[in-house]
Structure 1
Amino acid sequence: MCGITGIFDTQSARAIDPRQLQRMNESQHHRGPDEGSVHIEPGVGFGHRRLSIIDVATGQQPLFNEDGTVVVVFNGEIYNFQSLIPELQALGHVFHTRSDTEVIVHAWEAWGPDCVKRFRGMFAFALWDRNQQTFFMARDRLAVKPMHYALLDDGTLLFGSELKSLLAHGGMKREIDPLAVEEYFAFGYVAEPRCIFKQARKLEPGHSLCIRRGQPIPAPQRYWDVRFTLDRQISVEDACDELRAKLEESVRLRMISEVPLGAFLSGGVDSSAVVATMAGLSEEPVNTCSIAFDDPAFNESEFAQLVADRYRTHHSVETVVSDDFDLIDTLARLYDEPYADSSAIPTYRVCQLARKHVTVALSGDGGDESFGGYRRYRMHLMEERMRGALPAALRRPVFGLLGRVYPKADWAPRVFRAKTTFEGMARTSVQAYCHSVSILREPMRAELFSAQFKASLGGYTAQDVFDRHAANADTEDPLALIQYLDMKTYLVGDINTKVDRASMAHSLEVREPLMDHELIEWLARLPSDLKVRGQEGKFLLKKAMEPKLPDAVLYRPKMGFAVPLARWFRGPLKQRVREAVLGPRLAATGWFNPAYLQHLVDAHQAGTRDYSAPLWTLLMFEAFLRNVVDGGQAQLQPLESAVAHA
């Protein structure tokens, strides 16, 4: 696990400024505190910060092929590298290390851009082939590892694991993209491939970019996608047997390490399944860690302890006080972009705890998307049955009216909170799902933004993100469609971003066995009723784990990794949220409607509405402006200029 960065002159071979490259590299010191190196040749500069995991003695980067004509910098793990080495040796390649990094340069020589199809793992890498005058970079299939890049006006391409490394170069324009702001306030993150700054991009999951110096720069190319064929006819018993075998294989591959290894154990189904599988593969007790909360409404530690006791793990628990809100500015600096998932706070803390004991930790991330675990999946399927029973010509006007006039009753029992359902029923399936996962839904964003800012969007809405992915989903199955959408949006932009930044802030490598692409491809062939059956999500995973985990863990209400935002904003953070949301920094942008900002704060603090999620989103945006934009001496693009370039 590492941080990578670099500079590539796409047009000629101008000299690289070593000071710029060194600045870019050192901005990611936290990702790799063990070693730091750079390589410079005409028109190319690569930087690498190393966290030593595999081949500690000889796995330094940048790493070269036999004659030094191919150089790579790599972040991640290629789990099947040991099986690829003999195949590449048979083709005549000579290995000088025992690292998975060296497999990449030889695989490039053997198979060119198709080399990525042979890799099983989490990765982001960039390489330069001097003989072919070709620059190539790629990102893993589920975008577990990050890759940012920017093409400057003079033809220079910058890349890096984190956006801060591009900013450290000094040549990238810091114009904020209004379309990215729209996406952020809808989803709580800026969706791939967009970045908050106009000139920067994120390489999308399962994509690569191949540039030949002096030639036109092509668009990134997709090399992998998941296809929900749902065509595998199999009994529940056989499916459970196969799942246990595939999970065991995925976990075993991710237990390869030369440094201390353990697992997160939240007490949920996913992390518990990973720990149970690890215990069956390890002769020594597994190292596990959990975060407990002093607020019982958010505390799952007793369920984690059940699993820890059953498998006699070396279990570490630390209690986080429920008023752990001092991380707001730290998180803003850490994520580089506005990022509004408040579970980043406990995630940061559990990574901090884990690093005291291990260097590598396995997690249960990705299980909800792959196995159908979210409550919103069951709600969406219920709405789909209702949508299918009524013609659109009747459904849209009737439910559209009900959605507009029905009050938003946050205080009422859930059965009476029908506004969102009515609004969803008036929409198409994809529109309804986008609406349901949005933090500030489209009608709220229409009130939030100023008239000038809405003009700068030129008609663009965050819905376009979902529509683009839905066009590629190649399935009409209601559950498969929204699983696909989540794998392209929420899993990548929220979950993987959260875990990568929080873990690397503590120089901790996190591996996700439930995101193994071969496991996901196998699950995508199974019928949807093996994932959600009636009101039971993760049906197959739970059935498969019944011999290994207690029912108290498998069949309890999903709690999630949450923090008490609503109470914070009426209590200890009452003044802070008022100053941030109504203060001069947001006002200076000209992007927001002051009257609506006032309404959000007043209504929440009076207790008449629960606006905790929108307020947190605004709080983190204000923290981003202060810590990243102002802290980096960046200037907000004037609104008139933003309109001209939209």
Structure 2
Amino acid sequence: MCGLLGLLTTDGTSDDAVARVDSAMHCLRHRGPDEHGTWHDGDLVYGFNRLSIIDIAHSHQPLRWGPPESPERYALTFNGEIYNYVELRAELAEKYGAQFATEGDSETIVAAYHYWGTEAVRRLRGMFAFAIWDTETRELFLARDPFGIKPLFLATGTGGTAFGSEKKSLLELADLIGIGTELDPRAVEHYTVLQYVPEPETLHKEIRRLESGCYARVRPGGRPEITRYFEPTFPVRPFAAGRERDRYREIAEALEDSVAKHMRADVTVGSFLSGGIDSTAVAALAMRHNPNLITFTTGFEREGYSEVDVAAESAAAIGARHVVKVVSPAEFAAAIPEIVWYLDDPVADPALVPLWFVAKEARKHVKVVLSGEGADELFGGYTIYREPLSLKPFEYLPKPLRRAAGKLSERIPEGTRGKSLLHRGSMTLEERYYGNARSFNDAQLRAVLRDFRPEWTHQDVTAPIYARSAGWDPVARMQHLDLFTWLRGDILVKADKMTMANSLELRVPFLDPEVFRVASQVPLDQKITKNTTKYALRQALEGIVPPHVLHRAKLGFPVPLRHWLRGPELFEWARAVIAESGTEHLLDKAAVGRMLDEHREGRVDHSRRLWTVLVFMIWHGIFVEQRIVPDIQEPAYPVEV
């Protein structure tokens, strides 16, 4: 695990380029405080910060490897973990006589690339963002894991191509690579609607992300040539009558195998634990490999907004030692600027705040944690996935009647029963569903954004994804969409950023190719029923997850934001954020202030929209105005002796 930064120059490296990369690495210290350094080779400069997890005494970066005839042909810098590296090493040694000088997973990546070429990325079970420099062909190969667990930012200008684990490190090199730092107005609008910036965009126009499941090849003076190597599909396989238990067993075995491989580490591994089925399943399976497992959860100083009691009961049921962090409203507000600095781009999901605190607490005890991200997208866990069942009668209506129902809904007063049903039923799936984050509608956007463009909609993001799932059942299409939007734009961003901010590695066993393989075959009636979600997964986890959790609805880390923004906890704080923000050219601050007042008076619940704007204002204050300077307590590098 590490924070990586690289620069492939147009016309050769210089001492200044090496020094600039080295300097920019300091804003990534949190991602790898155990080792630090730079390396260069004519056209390329690598910077790296290592968080040592596997083969601690060796596997230093950049890692050099090559076949016997050219033993240092390749140079690798790598962020992530490969969980099947033991099996791959054995296969490479047996088939090709590959030789390894370390006991880590990094050499496996380079050897696989040498012998299998770009096909190697399809063989890797893990989370990764890496760069391989071929000193003979002078070609750089960049790759990112199938689901987007680990980030990789890219920027290409007249001076070359820079790539890194965090955008802020590329901003430090903007003038060196010849790119501007202006904002992308379309990305701003997308963020406001979705609560996150969708891949491959960032809020800076000339910095983009290598998308999940993609690799890129680039030569000095050229632009990255990007190829998608992984496209998640849902080849549904109906459960044979009387053989349901066999399929449930297959799911359980795939998850158990994934957790076993995710426990591979030379440091202590703990587990996050909420009151839901996903994290409890992971923790329970992890206990089979570490009877001394420590679990972690967080809650708030407000009754009814905490899963602390359920998580503690779960920890006791599986026999884990349990650690709890309770967060006050004052702590919550005070942490926001620092959290936003670590995020790079704003993510308006308040759940990332408790995640930040529980990660900080966990790092006092362990260096690696497991978590349950991805289960909902793979097995059909979101309540919204039941929407196609409730709207199915509308499918039998002619299109004109459906549109008429939509027009009728517009004339029905807000809050009237049936208004929402008519509105949603009048639209196609592609029109109504754009992921779990739905913040502003067009009318609300027009009131808040100075440069509202109605032609920039969520369909910029979703239409190409929906086009690839034509003909699938509606829930599979929603899952597929969420894998490319909500999961990699929100869930995995906050998981990576909040844990790595605390030099803590987070592993997600559900997001494993083998787990996805069995999950993708689960038919609709085994995902969503009239009374529950994730039906097949719940059946598979009988005997693994304690009964009090097995059929409980998912809550995660609920945040009492709606109440806090109405009361003394956050109202004055929010008013100050709006007043001090220098975003008048982008946002109608008076309109935002009116939203805050309406929310306080209880007339409308604006909490989600307010939070989206407030987080953006703080982000703008840090990265654009440079008016807000968070108190970043970055870890120190080890002292060399």
Q: Indicate the TM-score class for this superposition, using the shorter chain for normalisation.
A: over 0.9
Separation (CA, whole Å) in 2 of partners of 1:350 and 1:206: 29
The one-character-per-residue Cα deviations of 1:127-171 (angstroms, maximum 9, x if unpaired) are 11111111110000000000101012x141011101111012242
Q: Distance in 1 between matches of 2:251 and 2:547?
A: 19
2:620 to 600, 622, 625: 625
State the Cα distance separating 1:265 from its structure 2 match.
Answer: 0.9
Spell out the pairing of 1:431-442 with structure 2 (5 A cutoff): 431-434=431-434, 437-442=437-442
Distance 2:605 2:364 in 1: 37
How far residue 419 of structure 1 moved from its aligned partner, in angstroms, is: 4.4
Alignment of 1:56-205 (within 5 A): 56-66=56-66, 67-90=71-94, 91-152=96-157, 154-171=158-175, 172-205=179-212
> Secondary structure at the residue paired with 1:208?
strand
Contact 2:435 / 2:486 at 8 angstroms: preserved in 1?
no
Q: What letter corresponds to residue 607 of structure 2 in structure 1? A: S
Deviation at 1:444, TM superposition (A): 1.9
Match 2:228 to one of 222, 227, 232: 222
Instruction: Write the deviation string for residues 339-384 of structure 1: whole angstroms up to 9, x where unpaired.
Output: 211101100011111111111111011111111111111134322x
Is 1:287–1:314's contact at 8 Å kept on the other side of the alignment? yes
Query: Residue in 2 aligned with 1:578?
Result: 575
Maintained 8 Å contact 1:298/1:559:
no
For residue 507 of structure 1, what is the amino acid of its counterpart?
Answer: S
Shift of 1:461: 1.5
- Tell me how far apart the structure 2 counterparts of residues 147 and 599 of structure 1 sit (CA, whole Å): 39
C-alpha contact (below 8 Å) 1:236/1:530 kept by paired residues:
no
Deviates more, 1:340-349 or 1:431-440: 431-440
Instruction: Flag structure 2 segments of 5+ consecutive residues without an equivalent.
Output: 630-641
Deviation at 1:84, TM superposition (A): 1.2
Whole-Å Cα distance in 1 between the matches of residues 196 and 89 of structure 2?
39
Aligned equivalent of 1:425: 425
Counterpart amino acid of residue 267 in structure 2: V
> In the TM superposition, what is the alpha-carbon distance from 1:195 to its structure 2 partner?
0.7
Alpha-carbon spacing, 1:6–1:407, altered in 2? closer, same or farther (3 Å): farther
Structure 1 Cα separation of the partners of residues 421 and 133 of structure 2: 52
SS of the residue corresponding to residue 583 of structure 2 reads helix
1:376 to 384, 391, 411: 384
Asked if 2 retains the 8 angstrom alpha-carbon contact of 1:228 and 1:525, the reply is yes
1:46–1:62 CA contact under 8 A, matched in 2: yes
Residue by residue over 1:274-324, the C-alpha shift from the partner in whole angstroms, topping out at 9 and shown as x without a partner, is: 111122334x23221121333221111222122211221121122222552
Q: CA deviation at 1:232?
A: 4.5
Q: Decide which of 338, 348, 351 is 1:343's aligned counterpart.
A: 351
- In structure 2, the CA distance between the partners of 1:580 and 1:6, relative to structure 1 (3 Å rule), is same
2:551 corresponds to 1:555: yes
Structure 1 residues 399 and 306: alpha-carbon distance in aligned structure 2, compared to 1, 3 A threshold: same
Read off the aligned partner of 2:558 and give its amino acid letter. A
Secondary structure in 1 matching 2:313: helix
* Cα shift readout 1:46-86 (whole Å, capped 9, x = no counterpart): 11101100000001101111432210100000111111112
CA pair 561-406 structure 1, distance change in 2 beyond 3 A = farther
- 2:213 matched to 1:211? no
Q: Which residue of 2 aligns with 1:637?
A: none
Query: Which residue, out of 518, 523, 527, partners 1:527?
Result: 523
Instruction: Give the match for residue 360 of structure 1.
Output: 368
User: 2:367, 2:505 within 8 Å by CA — same for their partners in 1?
Assistant: yes
Candidates 325, 332, 339, aligned match of 1:318? 325
Alignment partners' CA distance in 2, 1:291 and 1:436: 23
Cα RMSD (Å)? 2.0
Call closer, same or farther: CA 1:289–1:560 in 2, change over 3 Å: closer
Q: Does 1:607 align with 2:602?
A: yes
CA contact (8 A) 2:193 2:440 kept: yes
SS of 1:159's partner is strand
One-letter amino acid matched to 2:570 = L
Q: Secondary structure in 2 aligned to 1:532?
A: coil
Q: 1:633 to 1:511 in 2, by over 3 A?
A: closer
Residue among 367, 390, 398 paired with 2:397:
390
The residue number in structure 2 matching 1:272 is 280
57-66 or 458-467: which moved more? 458-467
Residues 380 and 436 (structure 1 numbering): CA distance in 2 closer, same or farther, change over 3 Å? farther
Alpha-carbon distance in structure 2 between the residues aligned to 1:346 and 1:207: 31
Q: 1:420·1:436 contact (CA, 8 Å) conserved in 2? A: no
Equivalent of 1:498, from 473, 478, 494? 494
Does the Cα contact within 8 Å between 1:126 and 1:135 map onto a contact in 2? Answer: yes
Deviation at 1:436, TM superposition (A): 6.7
CA distance in 1, matches of 2:271, 2:466: 34
Note the alpha carbon deviations across 1:566-589, whole angstroms, 9 max, x for none: 2221222212222333555121xx
Q: Give the direction of change, closer, same or farther, for the CA distance of 1:417–1:610 in structure 2 (3 Å limit).
A: farther
1:443-462 residue pairs with structure 2 within 5 A? 443-450=443-450, 453-454=451-452, 457=453, 459-462=455-458
Query: 1:2–1:32: 8 Å Cα contact kept in structure 2?
Result: yes
User: d(CA) in 1 for partners of 2:112 and 2:470?
Assistant: 31
SS in 2 for 1:326: helix
- Match for 2:491: what amino acid? I
> Which whole-Å CA distance do the structure 2 matches of 1:366 and 1:125 have between them?
22
1:334 pairs, out of 339, 342, 353, with: 342
- Please state if 1:297 is matched with 2:304: yes
Tell me the SS of whatever aligns to 2:376: helix
* Cα displacement (A) at 1:595: 5.1
2:29 maps to a residue whose letter is H
| Equivalences, count | 616
Distance 1:290 1:437, change over 3 A: closer
- 1: CA distance, partners of 2:387 / 2:333: 32
Change (3 A) 1:400 1:583: farther
Q: CA deviation at 1:542?
A: 1.2
Distance 1:195 1:116 in 2: 25
1:231 aligned onto 2:243? no
1:413 counterpart residue number:
none
Give deviations 1:589-640, integer Å, cap 9, x for gaps: x223455324312211211011011111110010001111222999xxxxxx
Q: 1:79, 1:120 within 8 Å by CA — same for their partners in 2?
A: yes
Q: In structure 1, give the amino acid aligned to 2:519.
A: L
- Could you say if the C-alpha distance between residues 599 and 116 of structure 1 is closer, same or farther in structure 2, counting changes exceeding 3 Å? same
The superposition leaves residues 479-532 of structure 1 with CA deviations (integer Å, 9 ceiling, x where unpaired) of 000000011100001000001000001100010011112211221112111111
Structure 2: distance between partners of 1:538 and 1:87? 36
Aligned residue for 2:362, secondary structure, equals helix
